[in-house]
Chain A
Amino acid sequence: MDLSYTPEEEDFRARLREWLGKVLPALPPKPSPDDWPARRAYDLGWQRMLYDAGYADVHWDASPTTRLIFLEETEKAGAPYVGAGFVGLLHAGPTIVAEGTPEQRERWLPPILRGEEVWCQGFSEPDAGSDLAALRTRARRDGDDYVVSGSKIWTSHAEVADWCELLVRTDPEAQKHRGITWLALPMNAPGITVRPLRTLAGSAEFAEVFLDDVRVPVTNRVGDENDGWRVTMVTLSFERGTAFVGEVVACRRVLGELAAEARRNGRWDDSVLRRRLGRLNAEFRALWRLTQWNVSEAEAGGVPGVGGSVFKLRYSHARQELYDAAAEVLGPHALDLASPWMLDRLSSLSYTIAAGTSQIQQNIVAERILGLPKGR
C-alpha cells in the first residue's frame, strides 16, 4: 500500500480546497428532510456547481486516488452530501459507463453530471430482498417495447426521481439469475404509482413503486436481454465498496465532535466512556486505512472486488457503535431528536440492512473469500 500522493494529486487537493473555501460559505442552508422537492433542488444545485467547476465526473473518470481525495476534502470542508444524486452518480451512471451503448451514454450521462436528472434504484421487491434474484416484476416484449408489471419496494428517492434503474424478469423459464434484464424506466411513464413509505426516523425516504403495464422502449435496455444479473453485480460491488469513503471521513469528524462535547459537559471524566471513544478512534483510523488499501487495489484492478463486503460489514457496525457512544456522551439529551447526531443515530440502524444485510455480507465473505461451502 502506497500512502503517499503524487505532486499532481497534491495539486488537485490544493485546488479543490481553495475552491471549497470560496463557494461553501455562500451556500443556502440545507432544506428540511421532509421537503423532497427542496432537497432535490438543493442536491442538484450542488452537483451543478461541481459541474461548472470541473469536478462533476470525479466519480467516473478520475483515478480512484483522486476520487478519494475529492471525497476526503469535500467531507472535511462540510460540503453537501451527494444526496438525491446518489443512484445516478454512484450506481446507474457507472453501470451505463461500463455497459451502455454510445447512444445511451450520450442520453443519460450528461444530465446526471450536470445535476439535471435524478435516478432511483428499483431492485428490491416485497418478496425479493436478500434473495434479489427471486424478483418477479415481469417484462414481456411487445414490438419495440417491454411491457412491465409488478412492484418494487424500499425505492429510495422514488418520489423525485426521473429515472429508475429497474431489474425485471424477462425469462420466467430460465434459472433465476439468468432471466433478469436491466432497464432504464422513465418515472413519468403511464402506469407508475409511487407510494411513499415512512422510516422509523419519521421521514419518507423511500417508497413503493407499482408498475401496471408500463411501456419501456427496448432501446432503454442496458446490456443484453437476460444478462441483467451480471450487469448489476458489477455495480453492486461498487455500492458495497468505495461508495462510503466520504462517510468514513464524516465519522472521524463526528468522533472529534463527540470528544469535544464530552470535554464540555464533563462526561470526559468517565474513563469508561473516554476509552470507548479512544477505541472508536482506532476503529475509524483502521477503516480509513482499509479504504485507502481498497482504493489502491482498485487503482490496479479496475472494479472493486468482494473486499467491499469486508469493509461494509465492519463499517456498518462501527457506525452504529459511534452513534451509541454519542448517546452516552449526551445522556438524557440523547432522547431529544433535536440534539445533534440523534437522527443520524436512527438512520445508522439501516446500515446493517440496506445494500445487503450483515448476514448476507458474512455469507459472501465466508463463501467467496474463504471458499467455504455454499449452503445456508
Chain B
Amino acid sequence: MRFAALLLACGAVALGGTMAEARLVAPEVSDLAITQDGFPRTLDEYGFFIHADVQIPTADVMPYELNTPLYSDGADKLRFIYVPDGETIKANADGLLQFPVGSAIIKTFAFGEGSDRRLIETRVLLNRADGWLALPYRWNEEQTEARLALAGGRIPIITPAGEEISYRIPNKNQCKACHSLDDAVLPIGPKARNLAPELLELLSEQGKLDAVPDVSRPMPRWSDANAAKEPLARAYLDVNCAHCHRPGGGASNSGLDLRWEQDAPFARGVNKPPVAAGRGAGGLLVSIEPGDPDASILVHRMNSNEPGVAMPELGRSTIDEEAVALMRDWIAEMGN
C-alpha cells in the first residue's frame, strides 16, 4: 500500500520537468561519505536515495520495519539499511545485528498522509572504522534538500492525533543519549528479535547476513490486536526505554533495567523505589505497583509531557496514549 503510493509519487516527480529528469540518473551510495572523517553537509552526498524527497532508495539500500517501533509523536518512520558490497552482517542470536564497517542505517521522520506528507528529518548512523556516528539532517520547506543539523532544532508540527507540537530534531549529542552503551555509539533498532523473519531470510539470501538467526523469543508486532499484554508491554519498554534503562546505558544509575531479557521483577521496576527521580516520581513510591497502575511511577512518567517528569526524556512531545493504556492494563493484570 505504502509502496504503491511511493511509486505514484515517484512518477509525479519524473513528469515534473528537467530537474526531476536529471535526478533520475540513479546515484550510487558513496562509501566515502559514510567512512571518511567529517560530517557530510547534505543527505544527498551519501547517495542513499534515487529520489530522496519521496524516499525511493537506491538498489543497494534496503527498507525494513520493526515489529514494535519506537514512539516518536506518531511520526511515520521510513527505515533503511545499507551494507557495503561484499560485506556481511553477523547475526547475534536474539540481539543486535553486527554491521560491518561502512554500513549505514537511515531513518526518515515524516508527518502527514499521501500528497500532504512532509519529510521532517533524516537521521543516519554511520559505521566508521572508529565506531558508529549518528547525525541528524533537516529537510527544507521545499522538500528538495536535507541539511546537516548538528545542533538540532524545533519545528511546529501537527501530529496524526491532531496535536500542535514543537517537534524536536535532536542534536548530535542527543542522538548519542539514546544510542550509547558503555560510552560507545550503537544502533538500537535492528535486533533480530524485533525484525520480521522474512527480512532476515531475504538478507541472508542476498548474502548480506551470515545466517538467519534462530530467534528464541521474538517480539510481538505492535499492530497485533491479539498479542498478549505482557509481551507487548515488555517489547514496548525494551524498544522505548531499555537503551537508557540498562547496565551501561544512560540511566544505569537508576538501577532500573527494562530490557526484554531482564527476568528479575525488581530490576524491571516491580516494587522498586525510585533513586534520583525527583519530582518525576509524582509522589508515588515504586516504579510498578502490581495491580495498581495509578500508583506506578512508570505510568505517571509515560503519561506526562512535562520536562523533568516525562519519560523518555528525549524523542517525544506527546503522550503515547495507546502505550499508556497498555501499561495500565498490564500492571492492573499483575494484581490478579
Q: Is B truly associated with A?
A: no
Residues of A within 8 A of B (CB): none
Show the binding face of B for A, using Cβ within 8 Å. none
